[in-house]
Each structure stands twice: as structure tokens, then as C-alpha cells.
Amino acid sequence: MLRVSVFSEVARKLCISICAAFLCALSMNLFLVPAHVYAAGINGAAQLLSDIVHDGLHIHLSIGLLVLTMNLPIAVLGWFRVGKSFTLFSFITVVLTSFFLTVLPVYPLSSDILLNSIFGGMISAVGVGMALKYGISTGGLDIIAIYLTRRNRNASSGKYFLILNGIIIVIAGAVYEWQFALYTLISRFVNSYVIDMIHTKYQKLTVLTVTDQAERMTEAIQDQFDRGMTVIPSFGGFTGTEKSTLMVVISHYELYKIERLIKAIDPDAFTNILETNKVIGTFHNEEQQRAIQAMKHGVPAQEARKTLGLHDYEYFEKLFKKPAAK
């Protein structure tokens, strides 16, 4: 039964990767590339580099090949610093995007640059939003932004998206006409808006789950996420049945995983997911979670002290210390 569940999950993610890659490539080849409006992230950087080399040196570089090549070092970074499963499916999506960019023809459906900007941004956003909803990314800036966010706890990944995409827009405006940069901004706005509608614009979310399986749920969440949580005694308004409400704050990349975990443990649980503007207090990122998990299961973690800081390291060392045998 477990093997069937794992196979089903992998098959679902592969289907999402194919759909997301196809939509991203479609948006570029039918709308953005013909209009010289640039896509987000590495796709946009590859598109811009291809245009500069073609116009300056009269050499044609395949955008699909550039997308794949530029994502290779990012995939290595993600594999070791972000997460193997997340990076694997993200890179599969990148490979498929590269393939579709190569086989789909560049064919302008409209000569109106504004329409190309809007529909190009909208179609790619549907693909990106679908991927994020199922715990996958389309590669490139997602992995870089997560890594940089982990290096600086006080910054959000949205800040890095803005900076890295801004660099592409400024270069496009400086090398070509500034109108292309302005239309790229319009496309980015539409792209962000649609992604927010499909997934979420917030980096952190608060999950409230009402369940009668509080002990199992708490143990599973702490084991897989190492998220601290608040357990609130609760009672059914109509039935008076005694239950518990679990409150935990997660990152938006963890949403899909925690939804499946809750459903697997208690299919009848009532879950409310709230958008969180700001968290004051301790909120461990994924790298810190891995260090804590290593300490919890007695695995030597040489980097744990550096990753967590002395105060957190000593706290968890004391928390997980086994009592001496009598």
C-alpha cells in the first residue's frame, strides 16, 4: 500500500512538471520571445543572453539549451543546500521546459506587444502556480532565493526575486529600448498576480488543525518538519466532543507536504490555513530543521552548532539528551 502511495505521488508530480514546463515554454515561444518581452528568472536571463549574442555577434544560441545550461550549477547548489526531492523535481521541470522550448515553434499570435506581455505572463504564471501548489518549482531563481534566504534569516525570498528579476529588466532596457523593459514589468505584474491567485503570495502560513488525533499529528509534524506548535484544548460546538487544535507556522513551500500529512493521519480533521504577514520569535528554516532532526535522532551533525547558533544548539542538545540509565 505504501509503495502504491509513493508511486502515485511521484506520478502526480511528474504530470505537474510536464504541464508546468509546457505552459512556461508555450508562453515564451508564442508571446514573450516574438515581442522581445522577457520572462522571469533564469528563463528571462537565457532569453536576454540569446538576444544579445544574436544581435551583437550574429550567433544563434538556443534559448532551451541556455535554460538547461544555466540551471545546472543551480541544481547542484539546490541538491546540497536546499533539498534533494525539491531540487530533483524542479530540475525535471527545467529539463522539460528546455525540451519544449526547443521543439515548439516561435510563432507570434499577435503583433500587439501589450497583449503579448499580458498573455505571456498569465500563461507562464498558471504553470508556475501549479508547480508551487504541488511542492515543485520551475527551477532557477526559486532555488537561489531559498538558499539566500537561509543565509539571511531576516530577509524574505520575495526580496531576492525582486532584485534578481530587476537586474534582467534593467539590462534589457539598457541594451535595447526601454519600452521592452516597461512591457516586461507589466508581464511580471500579471505573472505575480496570477501566481498569487493559484498559490499564495505569503512566504509564511499559519495552519490551524482541529483533530482528535493530536498526539499522532504532533509527533508526525515534529518528525517531518521540526516545527514547534501550540496545542489548544477544543470542544465541538454542536457535539461537545473533546478535540485539540494544533497551530503551526510553515513556509509556503511546505504547504503541499503538510496538507498530505494531515490528510493521511486524520482524514476528518478540520484545517484552516491563514496567511501570515510576520512572525516574531523563532522560526527555523529547512536547513536548521535538518540539523535539529540530526540531533534528535542521534546522528552526528558537525554543522549543527554553526547552523543553529550556540543558544539553539545548547537548547536542543539538552532537550534531546537521553536520561542516564539507573
CATH classification for the domain delimited by 204-320, as one of 3.40.50.920, 3.90.70.10, 3.30.700.30, 3.30.70.120: 3.30.70.120
* Residue that wins the pLDDT comparison between 232 and 291: 232
pLDDT of residue 157: 57
pLDDT average, residue stretch 211-219: 90
- Structural domain boundaries in the chain: 2-198, 204-320
pLDDT average, residue stretch 195-221: 82
Question: Per-residue pLDDT for 235 more than 60?
Answer: yes
pLDDT of residue 210: 93
Question: Per-residue pLDDT for 1 more than 50?
Answer: no
H helices within 38-135, ranges in order? 41-57, 63-81, 84-103, 113-133
Report how far apart the first and last C-alpha atoms of the chain are (Å, whole number): 42
Q: Is 77 within 8 Å of 143 (Cβ atoms)?
A: yes
Q: Is 261 within 8 Å of 220 (Cβ atoms)?
A: yes
* Residue that wins the pLDDT comparison between 323 and 228: 228
pLDDT of residue 113: 92
pLDDT in tens, 28-77: 999 999 998 998 888 988 998 999 998 888 898 899 999 999 999 988 88
pLDDT of residue 274: 87
Predicted TM-score (pTM) of the model is 0.70
pLDDT band at residue 160 using 50, 70 and 90 as cut-offs: low
CB count in 10 Å sphere of residue 110 = 13
Which residues contact residue 306 at a Cβ distance below 8 angstroms, ignoring those fewer than 6 apart? none
**E strand map for the chain:** 204-211, 230-235, 242-251, 270-276
Question: Per-residue pLDDT for 2 more than 50?
Answer: no
pLDDT band at residue 159 using 50, 70 and 90 as cut-offs: low
pLDDT of residue 299: 64
Q: Is 291 within 8 Å of 304 (Cβ atoms)?
A: yes
Return the C-alpha cell found at 176.
Answer: 535595447
Tell me how far apart the alpha carbons of residues 222 and 201 are, in angstroms, rounded to a whole number.
25
Tell me how far apart the alpha carbons of residues 201 and 252 are, in angstroms, rounded to a whole number.
9
Question: Per-residue pLDDT for 305 more than 50?
Answer: yes
Contacts for 102-105: CB closer than 8 Å, 24+ residues apart: 102/62, 102/64, 102/65, 104/25, 104/26, 104/29, 104/30, 105/29
Q: Is 244 within 8 Å of 234 (Cβ atoms)?
A: yes
